[in-house]
């Protein structure tokens, strides 16, 4: 076969001879005399027809199948490092590919990470985590005792002294709370203040020792406890207070030591806040006494806190034999003479306040004693009085009066603005708004009259409603403004006045009505604005319908239009003229007796104002005429 008849490279035919067909895109023919095309291999492409060779996909692109007509760019997250590739390579964990056509990887820098393959950007580390190096594939949580406060962190921060981080991945430290402290940085827990010590504030780095007079019984306390009276704390760092020993006492809080009881006193048990004075009949001759010494037979002790015993004098009584001391008459009782074997009780209305009494005391006015043997008079309770001395009963305060405290001998009248509605009351009641009390001694409040009001509690008088305002009923707490269209000209009014015809009231609370402005009018009372005259249908101007309506009412009553020069013509025709009128058409009505129900329409009177009355013939009854508009 001759060489010239073979198909050229890039062309082919069934026989391999011309004429040949060009290889389509995606295919090529590398030799002469081809009977078929060759598909571009994976990693290669053929972009045009009649191609004699395939083209390798450039770096950053790939051709995944045969017979491709163009390369495909590597997508973000993938790269192609060299040419003629049939696949993309995903970015490894710790790396990312942000763009198309990538031929290489970008490393995740410190403070970021790429946790999986094929990532298009590195993730910023969130607060609580950090990545200290490049190429990170995972987050590193802040360790216990540390924190990371912001995003994209490359390192963790130790919690400062006085604070702590109890768990990992914390975004901030926690301040040590009162009762606890943190002595060093990077701590994961607080240390409770030990017993004997306390921590009063947040952020503490160490505890404070309890001072003398105070103690701390438990760990973790935020304040020292002051030793109470009866106890003392002798030095610093006390965990518990020490009770005063028998024979001693501690009188105040916060004491660092104890005090021995003086002679005449004793402390029988520990933790006493004071020495107990020996009672009458007993004495204590020395310091540090833990119990009193009873007076010997034939002796007595007449007062408390005695250091010695005394022989019994005359004026006391001994009810039994072998007593170690005489017995003074006790409060509520008295002994009128010597050598008595019994006491006499104070009768009702009287009392005996002290020992050694020789007679009872009369209850003064304002007090009372309801039974015998009382040691003091009772003050009359609030709401009651005791009007005289020697009283055994109290009297309730009358209505209108009150007894404000204890010990009243007379009731007090309720002051102005207040009242007392019942007996036995200890305080007056303030009159409520709407009511007043004009003077003392009232048992009930008075309601404000119509036209008046009372605004506040405890009022002694009523206030008149000011001009422009009114109060229509009694017991009102405030005045009401007159509404638009109405006014109140005088103070103390209980009613409103409508604006009269020819005036108006434009707003609430007015004391007078305003006269109509020129060109406007108010045809009825109680109007809040003047209107245009004749504008019956309220459209802002006078229409023909408005004028007809006005003239219909005007002509029968106008003194300016009068029939004159009335003349009878033939055949029932009449003629007349009108004063002040030259061009109006009127209707003519006729009546024989001038009553409203007998007027009959005749027809229209035209200028020169002539009309016809066919019934007005010779011999007809007297007839009367009037005009009507229109």
Distance, CA of 272 to CA of 274 (rounded, Å): 6
Residue 550 has pLDDT above 80, yes or no: no
Nearest CA to 227 out of 237, 213, 239, 217 is that of 213
Say if residues 58 and 81 touch (Cβ distance below 8 Å): no
- Compute CA 281 distance to the chain's CA centroid, rounded to the nearest angstrom: 67
1, pLDDT greater than 50: no
Q: 448 versus 521: which is more confidently predicted?
A: 448
**Cross-strand partners of 147:** 157
Q: If you average pLDDT over every residue of the chain, what do you get?
A: 88
Q: What is the pTM of this model?
A: 0.43
- Residue range 39-52: mean pLDDT, rounded: 96
Residue-level pLDDT at 583:
58
Confidence of residue 88 (pLDDT cuts 50, 70, 90): very high
Whole-number pLDDT of residue 311: 74
Task: Please report where in the chains the tokens 């030793």 appear, as a residue.
Answer: 227
Report the percentage of the chain scoring pLDDT > 70. Answer: 85
- Which range (29-43, 182-196, 235-249, 308-322) has the least confidence? 308-322
pLDDT score of 415: 96
Cα 553 to Cα 330, 547, 556, 578, 630: the distances in Å are 110, 10, 6, 17, 11
Question: How many Å apart are CA 247 and CA 264, to the nearest integer?
Answer: 12
pLDDT given for residue 558 in this prediction: 61
Q: What integer pLDDT is reported at residue 5 of this predicted model?
A: 87
Token look-up 């022989």 returns: 311
Name which of 103-112, 323-332, 592-601 the model is least confident about: 592-601
Look at residue 338 in the predicted model and tell me its pLDDT.
Answer: 72
Nearest to 622 by CA among 603, 601, 598: 598
Q: Where is average pLDDT lowest: 135-144, 468-477, 560-569?
A: 560-569
Look-up of token digits 């943190």: 182
DSSP string, 259-282: EEPPTTEE--SSS-SSPEEPPTTE
399-438: pLDDT as tens digits: 999 999 999 999 999 999 999 999 999 999 999 999 999 9
Give the pLDDT confidence score for residue 251 in this predicted structure: 96
Comparison of pLDDT for 131 and 591, the residue scoring more:
131
- pLDDT single digits (tens) 218-247: 999 999 999 999 999 999 999 999 999 999
pLDDT in tens, 284-341: 999 999 999 888 876 877 788 989 887 767 667 767 655 677 788 789 988 787 767 6
Q: Residue 580's pLDDT band (boundaries 50, 70, 90)?
A: low
pLDDT score of 420: 96
Instruction: Report the 10 Å Cβ neighbour count for 520.
Output: 14
The answer for residues whose C-beta is within 8 angstroms of residue 321's C-beta and 6 or more apart is none
What are the structure tokens assigned to 254, written together? 């916060």
Say which range, 101-110, 201-210, 287-296, 504-513, has the weakest mean pLDDT: 287-296
Q: Check residue 37 and give its pLDDT.
A: 95
What torsion, rounded to 10 degrees, do the Cα atoms 99, 100, 106, 109 define?
Answer: 20
3-class secondary-structure state, position 453: strand
Q: Where residue 25 falls among pLDDT bands split at 50, 70, 90?
A: very high
């Amino acid at each position: 076969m001759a060489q010239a008849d073979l198909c050229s490279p890039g062309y082919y035919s069934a026989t391999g001879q011309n004429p040949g067909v060009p290889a389509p895109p995606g295919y090529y023919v590398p030799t002469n005399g081809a009977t078929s095309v060759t598909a571009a291999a994976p990693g290669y492409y053929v972009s045009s027809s009649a191609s004699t060779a395939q083209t390798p996909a450039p770096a950053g692109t790939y051709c995944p199948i045969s017979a491709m007509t163009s390369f495909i760019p590597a997508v973000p997250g993938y790269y192609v490092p060299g040419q003629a590739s049939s696949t993309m390579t995903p970015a490894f964990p710790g790396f990312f590919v942000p763009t198309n056509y990538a031929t290489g990887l970008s490393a995740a820098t410190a403070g970021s990470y790429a946790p999986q393959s094929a990532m298009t950007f590195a993730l910023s580390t969130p607060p609580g985590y950090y990545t200290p190096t490049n190429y990170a594939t995972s987050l590193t949580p802040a360790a216990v005792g540390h924190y990371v406060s912001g995003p994209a962190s490359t390192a963790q921060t130790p919690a400062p002294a006085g604070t702590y981080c109890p768990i990992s991945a914390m975004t901030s430290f926690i301040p040590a709370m009162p009762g606890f402290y943190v002595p060093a940085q990077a701590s994961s827990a607080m240390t409770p203040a030990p017993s004997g010590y306390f921590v009063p504030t947040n952020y503490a780095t160490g505890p404070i020792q309890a001072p003398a007079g105070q103690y701390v019984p438990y760990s973790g306390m935020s304040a020292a406890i002051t030793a109470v009276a009866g106890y003392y704390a002798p030095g610093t760092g006390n965990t518990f207070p020490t009770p005063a020993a028998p024979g001693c006492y501690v009188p105040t809080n916060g004491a660092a030591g104890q005090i021995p009881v003086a002679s005449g006193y004793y402390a029988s048990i520990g933790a006493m806040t004071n020495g107990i004075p020996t009672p009458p009949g007993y004495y204590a001759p020395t310091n540090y006494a833990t119990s009193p010494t009873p007076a010997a037979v034939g002796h007595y002790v007449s007062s408390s806190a005695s250091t010695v015993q005394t022989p019994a004098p005359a004026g006391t009584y001994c009810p039994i034999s072998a007593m170690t001391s005489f017995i003074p008459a006790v409060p509520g009782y008295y002994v009128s003479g010597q050598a008595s074997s019994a006491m006499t009780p104070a009768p009702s209305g009287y009392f005996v306040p002290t020992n050694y009494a020789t007679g009872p005391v009369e209850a003064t006015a304002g007090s009372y004693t309801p039974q015998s043997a009382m040691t003091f008079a009772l003050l009359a309770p609030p709401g009651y009085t005791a009007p005289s001395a020697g009283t055994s009963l109290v009297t309730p305060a009358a209505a209108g009066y009150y007894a404000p405290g204890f010990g009243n001998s007379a009731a007090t009248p309720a002051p102005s603005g207040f009242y007392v509605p019942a007996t036995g009351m200890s305080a007056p009641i303030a009159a409520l708004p709407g009511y007043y009390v004009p003077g003392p001694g009232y048992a009930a409040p008075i309601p404000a009259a119509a036209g008046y009001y009372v605004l506040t509690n405890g009022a002694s008088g009523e206030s008149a409603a000011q001009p422009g305002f009114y109060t229509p009923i009694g017991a009102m707490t405030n005045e009401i403004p007159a509404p638009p269209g109405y006014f109140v000209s005088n103070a103390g009014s209980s009613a409103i006045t409508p604006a009269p015809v020819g005036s108006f009231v434009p707003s609430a609370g007015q004391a007078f009505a305003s006269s109509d402005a020129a060109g406007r009018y108010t045809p009825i009372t109680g109007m809040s604005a003047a209107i245009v005259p004749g504008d019956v249908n309220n459209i802002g101007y006078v229409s023909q319908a408005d004028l007809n309506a006005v003239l219909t009412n005007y002509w029968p009553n106008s003194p300016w239009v009068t029939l004159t020069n009335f003349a009878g013509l033939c055949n029932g025709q009449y003629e007349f003229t009108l004063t002040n009128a030259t061009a109006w058409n009127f209707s003519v009505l006729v009546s024989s007796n001038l009553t409203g129900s007998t007027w009959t329409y005749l027809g229209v009177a035209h200028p020169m104002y002539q009309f016809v009355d066919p019934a007005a013939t010779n011999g007809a009854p007297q007839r009367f005429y009037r005009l009507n508009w229109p």
